[in-house]
Chain A
């Protein structure tokens, strides 16, 4: 049982107990959704080495599809979620096929361009209701029996799905396919010379990443009850990059930590400011609630200058140094 497995197991147990420890279920669910989104993105960036600037397209398209199916078509919850995932996966296939032809910054720019075009489609399409958003998405029932309007019931469903997805990603990374991904990432020419269809491998990784990002979007629509243009906006694509960077690229736990930090920051900065003001007695802190962009910018700068490996990366490196091993 590796240290990581134990760590993750402990986290999972903690997560199960959280609602009874006083944590607010809806907030944790938000974190879980973004943690899934970040993990999906990390699969692509950390393991396949592909930086996408348009991942919000998958989050948003799944949110809209699931929302539409649940609200307008009256589908059962499970079917709605599956539709969202399938839609994101299909979109991932289309965008991936086009983008994989190029690499590096050009790959990133194609994903950005295609995501922007999709955003425009969402803006114009009547079924999204534009900037008003697709509101009033019902949570429905699990297996037709358990009402998900109850926050606690939904919490455990989301947690279960998240754990399942995380284990799936872990499985993928440690499978022969995962090794192929790393090989293609580190030296594509050599992988091709060994007879591997690098493009197909990259495309498969892209579709998996898109589908999992779609799962995150579909779940988020369920939790919050609406899908809005923000879900598909390029700032959300930027946000997930930030989460993965802060948490640690290429590590499995990194995206979780990053999502917790960033989502926590966005939602809690006012409270953090008030608490800091009380602790230190400096009243300027209570104005922190209006300074989200400044604080986010500061975190970006500090992370890039000093904590490049992200929280998990720095933690792992510190552990290794303590053990006297070679720094990675």
Chain B
């Protein structure tokens, strides 16, 4: 058995693959945040809470309405998207002319509120959420056994990420959106309803977060504080990738998944901190992130 740094090659390959699997999940989770920051310049701290709402709604749907995984995959993001749009319309809209700080603080406060309310109803220990029948089992890849559900997560993440990137960077609607955020008065002069586009974009970002939540429900603990553990990593991904770059956060999500995965093998205690080391290094060397545009 050939060894690299004391680890058999097969095992290392398995860990790298797992890193990519996790990375694709990070990419999907960060996508909503990247869209909202890139398009709207809002630092949306409530991203973690929206992700949690997606997962909790999936459970609520199954527990009270008998709606399984597949319907909730559409319904939960839809509901959270609508919630996001209401939030933007009623509260966030008023802060656009001000310092970024206020958007961050408002969304942080909203996070505490949302998490607190869910916690007071459902407690923190979490709810059981079974793996959907169709996706159970695993595939033997030779060097490791990969659960089918993880492959599914990768597939959904990549498809959604690529579709979003394509939509924003390559379609005319996406172009209008980018124009609206770069120069609102001018875009409005063209007859485009910029405020409505902004609302829809925020709702879209929220829906993406919720989709990640539904994907996470069968494999991670579904409880009100589940977002708060991931939010900092998500932020780091967006910052490292370059705030404003959709492709950047996708690539960074994958990259970070692999870096984290390798750390888990060689120095597991640091696997939650390594993302910050990367973030500090990147920011010191390339200030606007790996793929970002100078603001």
Contacts and interface: CB of A to CB of B under 8 A. Distances in A.
Nearest to A297: B112
B115 A293 contact: yes
A51 B101 contact: yes
Interface string A274-293: 00000000000000001101
Interface string A73-113: 00000000000000000000000001001101110011011
B276 A112 contact: yes
A106 B115 CA distance: 27
Contacts of A105: 43, 100, 239, 243
A271 B109 CA distance: 23
B120 interface: yes
Which among B232, B276, B279 has the highest number of chain A CB atoms within 10 Å? B276
B116 A293 contact: yes
B284 interface: yes
Interface in B80-112: 91, 94-95, 98, 100-102, 105-106, 108-112
Where chain A touches its partner, the secondary structure class is: helix
Chain B interface size band reads: 35 or more
Given A109-B239, A294-B120, A300 B280 contact: no
Interface in A287-318: 290-291, 293-294, 296-301, 303-305, 308
B283 A297 contact: no
Contacts, number: 103
Contacts of B110: 297, 300-301
B171 interface: no
A291 B114 CA distance: 12
B106 A301 contact: yes
Which among B110, B243, B280 has the highest number of chain A CB atoms within 10 Å? B280
Contacts of A119: 273
B119 A113 contact: no
A116 interface: yes
Nearest to B232: A234
A117 B106 contact: no
Given A120-B270, A241-B105, A301-B110, 9 more contacts: A101-B284, A105-B239, A106-B287, A110-B280, A113-B277, A293-B116, A294-B120, A297-B115, A304-B105
17 contacts: A51-B101, A101-B284, A105-B43, A105-B239, A113-B276, A113-B280, A290-B120, A291-B116, A293-B115, A294-B112, A297-B109, A297-B113, A298-B113, A299-B109, A300-B109, A304-B102, A304-B105
Interface of B: 43, 91, 94-95, 98, 100-102, 105-106, 108-117, 119-120, 232, 235-236, 239, 243, 269-270, 272-273, 276-277, 279-280, 283-284, 287-288
Q: Which 3 A-B pairs have the closest CB atoms?
A: A300-B109, A297-B112, A294-B116
